[in-house]
């Protein structure tokens, strides 16, 4: 499938923070954005609830280390969505992320 380039203006801190999260999941920022877009397309909606209040900013939220099972479930949820995107989920890397 052909791809297109798209310029997007976002807050520098938001990009930095989400890059960190995507990296922990074994993907690039671009792949994370593509995962989001595919979720919107698949669910035909924004894939999370929008509400007043919401979650605290990543800089102030407590650090919670995901369990191996939670990380495994995240990988399984992305199965098929990541095909054709810049993501390195070879066995050795996946094992490092899951441990």
- Interval 38-85: pLDDT, tens: 888 988 988 887 766 655 566 666 565 667 776 666 666 665 555 555
pTM exceeds 0.75, yes or no: no
* Residue 28 pLDDT > 80: yes
In this predicted structure, what is the pLDDT of residue 89? 55
What distance separates the 2 farthest-apart alpha carbons in the chain?
Answer: 41
Which tokens is 83 given?
């095909």
In this predicted structure, what is the pLDDT of residue 69? 72
User: Which of 8, 11, 26, 9 lies closest to 58 in space, CA to CA?
Assistant: 11
């Amino acid at each position: 499938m052909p791809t297109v380039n798209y310029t997007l203006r976002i807050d520098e801190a938001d990009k930095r923070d989400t890059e960190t999260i995507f990296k922990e999941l074994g993907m690039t920022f671009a792949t994370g954005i593509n995962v989001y877009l595919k979720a919107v397309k698949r669910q035909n909606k924004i894939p999370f609830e929008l509400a007043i209040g919401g979650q605290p900013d990543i800089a102030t939220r407590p650090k919670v280390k995901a369990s191996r099972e939670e990380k495994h479930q995240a990988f399984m949820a992305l199965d098929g969505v990541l095909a054709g995107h810049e993501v390195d989920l070879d066995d050795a890397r996946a094992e490092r992320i899951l441990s």
